[in-house]
Amino acid sequence: MVTEAAVAEQTVPNFIGLDIEKVEKMCRLDGIKIRTIEFEESLEPEGRIIVQNPQADQPVPAEGIRLVVSGKNYLDFLPNIYRQYDMRQGSILKRFLWLLKHPRIPIDRTIRDIHSYFEPYNTPGKFLPYLASVLALVLDENWDQAKKRELIANIVKIYKLRGTSRGLALYLKIYTDSTPEIIENYWPFNGFQVGVSSTIGVDSIIIGYINRSHCFTVRIPQTIDDTPVEMIRRIHAIVQTEKPAHTNYYMIFAEPELEEADFMQVGVASMIGVESWVGETDNVHEEIEEGKQDDRGE
């Protein structure tokens, strides 16, 4: 992205003689704003830049640059009777037709480039909802534009894989920017079984019966602390939409990494009062030093 400070330091290239489409592309890439595009009759080939303001090598103004493009007047396409010229007032019809030419040129350019509107990565942002509707896709308004474009570009592939672990993993990857793991026929809890697993809160959780042949687990490769609540809700919404209706799922997030710390280890560092301390070590050390000084005094 080009910042305002960078634009202020830029100078205007020499656009004279270049095609207007090429100039517009150069301006987009360089972050130069085009304030106005005007058309004038000229002997130059149609669509070439004949005037630019500011001139080449001048600083780029904040309000943008002005370009004048060569063109043909619509009067040239009319019979001679409409080309009468008044020496005092000139041709009113000619000036009027120039006014009509200005709004028509952008429309012609849009029609000519209409194919780009159906390319997810090139279409204007405001056209994305319509393009999604053509593909029977309802976009989430809170998704950023880059994710919307990627989803539209891949939605046909996702439709082919809908209801499969590959399709769900692809959908989640687009949204989370990470590759989730889909574990089929797996449930992390065994349920309450007397005499088998019956320690409440340790190895048993009282839940409804889960058929393992109709369940799966989604493992997200990021910790729940690093995942915004809104993102978690949307991940659940995606899974609910893409999973088969008869299945159950459970979601697991990655475990946070524990910081390294020195703990008491039985048989390694476990001699109370010698190499292991229980409580705040700073106070213990102070008390030991005071005890040594008292022993010397005695």
Q: Answer with the one of 116, 147, 178 that is the final residue of a domain.
A: 116
Same-domain status, 143 and 55: no
Q: Looking at the structure, do residues 94 and 9 belong to the same domain, yes or no?
A: yes
Residue that has been written with the tokens 């793991």 in this structure: 181
18 and 107 part of one domain: yes
Please list, residue by residue across 110-120, b when 16 or more beta carbons sit within 10 angstroms of its beta carbon and e when fewer do.
Answer: eeeeeeeeeeb
pLDDT tens digits for 137-159? 888 888 888 889 999 999 999 99
Phi and psi torsions of 240, nearest 5° = -60, -35
What's the CA angle centered on 220, arms 219 and 222, to 5 degrees? 135
- Give tens-digit pLDDT for 216-228: 999 999 888 888 8
Q: Model's pTM, two decimal places?
A: 0.50
Number of folded domains that form the chain: 4
Task: Give the pairing of strands 49-53 and 34-41.
Answer: unpaired
Same domain assignment for residues 101 and 122: no
pLDDT tens, 236-268? 989 998 899 889 999 999 887 655 545 445 554
Same domain assignment for residues 11 and 37: yes
Alpha-carbon span 110 to 218, nearest angstrom: 45
Same domain, 112 and 8: yes
First-last CA distance in the chain: 76
Which residues form the domain of 124?
117-160
